Structure 1
Amino acid sequence: MRIGILKCGQSPEELRGELGDYDTMFERLLAGRGFDFASYHVENMQFPQDVREAGGWLLTGSRHGVYEDHAFIPPLEDFIRAAYAARVPMVGICFGHQIIAQALGGQVAKHPEGWAVGPQDYDFGGEPVRLNAWHQDQVIRRPEAAEIIASNPFCENAALVYDDRAFTVQAHPEFDDAFIEGLIEHRARGTVPGALLDRARARMGGPLQSGSIADRIEAFFKAPRSFAAQATRQGAA
């Protein structure tokens, strides 16, 4: 099954050579699960020609806010709505989680209490899941079609599902502690309060449940879908 990765941003240049860009991180996360990948740098206006170029779409994180004025955001929202209408499954992570919600009628804003940085604990329907996070924005009003499947006290809409069309997560299953440390060094200064960074570092080093989210992504993309468009997708199997 081909997964099209819509790269909504890039990892810091200082980290990219050693730790990879966002698309390569997801390829590592989902390796060995029967997927092949095509990457589209939508932040740089490189879009697929059709929503059926892949069997599913994965929207990455970004340093941008979904409510900001960037050239790639309106066509990305149009693409999301077209894929949703065609029932081509989408997975969104962080910015991807937020832009899917915004495109489908939700609202995203900065959290009044600030940032979530480093390891965070989430309740996925009774399953405790610890994942790395890096965000100040979050979905404050979910679309009518979205169902909450994970939350914590800081982030009510931590993971959403839109029947079999979209599965989105605010946290970053693709980020390991080394990448969080790199973000602290290269993106946090003057932006994230030092005390919060200290708390994040103190929590790092323990086990993360990124594999649990990779399992959920795999199951979501591979779930049976009985609609005619499935048979026409290029690279879907």
Structure 2
Amino acid sequence: MVEEEGGEVAVAPTAPPAAEKKEVVRGRFAVLLCADASKYVKKVHGGYLKVFLELLGEEGETWHVYRAAHSELPSVADIDGYDGFVITGSCNDAHGDDQWIMDLVAFLKVLDSKKKKVLGVCFGNQILSRALGGKTGRSKKGWDIGVTCVHPSQTITDLLSSLNIPSHLPVIEFHQDEVWQLPPHAEVLACSEKTGVEMFRYGDHIMGIQGHPEYDKDILLHLIDRCLQRNLIETSHAEVAKGRINELEPNREAWRRLCQGFLKGKLSW
């Protein structure tokens, strides 16, 4: 059972025939939820934890969810029990000063000091940059909603050649904030027409992605309608995004290989 009120979910291995049995490599990971899933996402997609498990989960692993937006975080004593952490998107600003955001910034600094694998998505990308000494804020080019073609740098193109990652990576985007300035010693891994920092890495243990590799178009359309109903986006933005939604398909399989490869330590920088 996938549970978003706090708890663990085991991705159980499928037992092969006796003659073909092989050791299943197990890992323990934590998802830090920075937003509450809507009733629709819970009903249709099983909640954001399940959405991330479909992108990142593999046989034999155990995943734990913490509602970071409700001030739930692993204790410092528990950190070493995890192989990696995932920071999700949020409707809050990564440059805000809400207490839970400040607590998350402090927690991410601890993860960095311990060289823990951390993958940040959208808000997660921005809050990682902030925690490491970078700057975030409103995008100079406004909202980016829809499927955007991301262009990897030569560094990551060379690195990912073994994973058969293409030179252009369409991904679903839904953001009005961005990384303004990278932390010292961080490296840009990808950019797009609207966003200068679509991906970045910090050492070999932290990676941020501005887009949403975990989303499909159904979730995107739902979020557009939800934000429109709450007057968080203008009608013109929503209409443009919906009108262009079928122009490009997100390469979810390539993003899955990339995200799993990073989080599971299969990439050598």
TM-score higher than 0.5 here?
yes
Partners of 1:23 and 1:60 within 8 A in 2: no
- 1:110 aligned onto 2:129: no
Deviation, structure 1 residue 38: 0.7
When normalised by structure 1's length, the TM-score is 0.88
Matching residue's letter, 1:99: I
Single out whichever of 189-198 and 140-149 deviates more from structure 2. 189-198
Which residue does the alignment assign to 2:216?
A: 176
Partner Cα separation in structure 2 for residue 224 and residue 128 of structure 1: 21
Q: Are the structure 2 counterparts of residues 19 and 137 from structure 1 closer, same or farther at C-alpha, using a change threshold of 3 Å?
A: same
Q: Are the structure 2 counterparts of residues 217 and 199 from structure 1 closer, same or farther at C-alpha, using a change threshold of 3 Å?
A: same
Counterpart pick for 1:32 among 47, 52, 58: 58
Per-residue CA distance 1:113-170 (angstroms, 9 max, x = gap) = 3100011111013610111111001001110121001101210011001121101100
**Structure 1 segment 139-158 matched on structure 2, within 5 A:** 139-158=179-198
Matching residue's letter, 1:212: A
Matching residue's letter, 2:38: P
Partners of 2:147 and 2:249 within 8 A in 1: no
- 1:17 aligned onto 2:59: no
Structure 1 unpaired stretches of 5+: 226-237
Partner Cα separation in structure 1 for residue 33 and residue 232 of structure 2: 23
Partners of 1:14 and 1:186 within 8 A in 2: no
**Structure 1 segment 44-193 matched on structure 2, within 5 A:** 44-50=70-76, 51-125=79-153, 127-189=167-229, 190-193=231-234
Partner Cα separation in structure 1 for residue 47 and residue 99 of structure 2: 21
SS of 1:148's partner is strand
Partners of 1:118 and 1:204 within 8 A in 2: yes
Partner Cα separation in structure 2 for residue 156 and residue 4 of structure 1: 28
Which residue does the alignment assign to 2:255?
A: 213
Deviation, structure 1 residue 222: 2.4
SS of 1:72's partner is helix
Per-residue CA distance 1:162-202 (angstroms, 9 max, x = gap) = 12110110000111100111011111343323232222223
Aligned-residue RMSD, C-alpha: 1.8
Per-residue CA distance 1:93-113 (angstroms, 9 max, x = gap) = 001101000011111101133
Partners of 1:11 and 1:20 within 8 A in 2: no
Structure 2 unpaired stretches of 5+: 1-26, 158-166
When normalised by structure 2's length, the TM-score is 0.78
Single out whichever of 213-222 and 134-143 deviates more from structure 2. 213-222
Runs of 4+ with >6 A deviation:
none
Single out whichever of 76-85 and 182-191 deviates more from structure 2. 182-191
Deviation, structure 1 residue 204: 2.1
Q: Are the structure 2 counterparts of residues 23 and 128 from structure 1 closer, same or farther at C-alpha, using a change threshold of 3 Å?
A: same
Which residue does the alignment assign to 2:14?
A: none
Partner Cα separation in structure 2 for residue 186 and residue 55 of structure 1: 34
Which residue does the alignment assign to 1:201?
A: 242
Matching residue's letter, 1:199: V
Partners of 2:28 and 2:61 within 8 A in 1: yes
SS of 1:62's partner is coil
Single out whichever of 145-154 and 208-217 deviates more from structure 2. 208-217
Partner Cα separation in structure 1 for residue 113 and residue 57 of structure 2: 29
Partners of 2:30 and 2:63 within 8 A in 1: yes
Matching residue's letter, 1:82: V
- Aligned sequence identity (%): 24
